[in-house]
Amino acid sequence: MVFGLDVRRTPRHCAVALRGRSIKGYTRSPAKANRQHVGIPARRAGMLGLPQAHPDPPMHTLFPKPFRAAGCDECRNAAALGFDFTMAFQPIVNVDGGPPFAYEALVRGLNGEGAGSVLAQVDDGNRYRFDQACRVKAIELAAGLGLQDIPGCRLSINFLPNAIYRPETCIRSTLEACARFGFPSERLMFEVTEGERVSDSAHLIRIFDDYRKRGFITAIDDFGAGYAGLNLLATFQPHVLKLDMELTRDIDRSPARQAIVAGVALAAERLDITLIGEGIETAAERDMLRSFGVRFQQGFLFARPTIGRLTEWPASV
Ligand SMILES: [Ca+2]
């Protein structure tokens, strides 16, 4: 899930609407030209450990030219973005009990509209600003709800690699927001899916590496779906893998899913990676996943995303 919507279901026109056009004051990454120059696809070159010819390869976003990282204030300005939105929070629970592992921030319309209605307003021209605004909004709202007071609980933020120019500059507003709202930055988790719009794994891994060095928790979202699979895991080992709901749905009735998840769980244990099961809707799914060692789970069985409060599980009485 990216901003609460599976990118596989994100309208493709978001990524391609402005392709081939130039807009005054904005620039595209030179990634494509550089890749052609090198003659080896960046993804392949990265896997082979070859030096990368391009320092900043996101392809589908227009960045301000000259590039200037937005600050916290700027990212809170809805007028500058062109539309406003809010965040719902859904817990990732520990089925063995205790405080939740994290709350994931999921984008919503101001009147509770689904993520799709918000994401429909995101295009090549505002993707960078939207990504930055999502981080600031998530941190501000979570801090206001007291998430930092829940022992060990993390705030999980989805991000779009294509919206990041360079990791070191695009993190500025995130850190400013943490300082302003009193949220500990080491409790931030960044989850990303290698969806169809992430055309360059090397860029994604560069961001993850930078985030890891900063002490953030890194997570691959939707693992087992689309492109978020073994190739990415073989190249980069995050702190967390979120098992896609395609793998967890009806797992209690699917020997194939059981075999796959058991294998992933074994690999995760050897790589010291924490597994999270997504999209859990039944007690049978929960229990089967738990039998494979997956303690941390997320889904409607536990709590739906809620705006304006952090839902507890089990609900306090
Ligand atoms: Ca997600």
pLDDT at 102: 98
The CATH code of the domain at 7-307 is 3.20.20.450
C-alpha 97 to ligand 1 mean position (Å): 22
pLDDT at 152: 96
Q: Which helix (H) or strand (E) holds 229?
A: none
Residues with CB under 5 Å of ion ligand 1 are 1, 158, 191, 221
C-alpha 193 to ligand 1 mean position (Å): 8
Spatial distance between the Cα atoms of 222 and 1, rounded to a whole number of angstroms: 7
pLDDT at 70: 73
C-alpha 191 to ligand 1 mean position (Å): 6
Query: What are the φ/ψ torsions at residue 285 (nearest 5 degrees)?
Result: -65, -45
Residue 268 has a CB neighbour count (10 Å cut-off) of 22
C-alpha 106 to ligand 1 mean position (Å): 8
Q: Which helix (H) or strand (E) holds 189?
A: strand 188-192
Residues in the chain where the model's pLDDT stays below 70: 1-67, 72, 74-75, 78, 194-199, 226-228, 316-317
C-alpha 285 to ligand 1 mean position (Å): 19
pLDDT at 191: 94
Shortest CA distance to 62 belongs to which of 104, 20, 8, 90? 20
Asked whether the beta carbons of 107 and 85 are under 8 A apart, the reply is yes
- Collapsing DSSP to helix, strand or coil, 110 comes out as coil
Domain parsing of the chain, residue ranges? 7-307
Question: What sign has the CA pseudo-torsion 200, 237, 183, 310?
Answer: positive
Task: List Cβ neighbours of 61 (8 Å cut-off, separation of 6 or more).
Answer: 28, 29, 124, 127, 128, 162, 163, 165
C-alpha 53 to ligand 1 mean position (Å): 30
Residue 130 has a CB neighbour count (10 Å cut-off) of 24
Residue 140 has a CB neighbour count (10 Å cut-off) of 18
C-alpha 3 to ligand 1 mean position (Å): 7
pLDDT at 113: 95
C-alpha 5 to ligand 1 mean position (Å): 8
Longest dimension (CA), the chain: 63
Q: Which residue has the tokens 């360079």?
A: 166
Asked whether the beta carbons of 278 and 1 are under 8 A apart, the reply is yes
Task: List Cβ neighbours of 116 (8 Å cut-off, separation of 6 or more).
Answer: 5, 9
C-alpha 235 to ligand 1 mean position (Å): 20
pLDDT at 66: 64
How many CA atoms within 13 Å lie on the side-chain side of 236?
A: 28
C-alpha 192 to ligand 1 mean position (Å): 7
Spatial distance between the Cα atoms of 61 and 27, rounded to a whole number of angstroms: 8
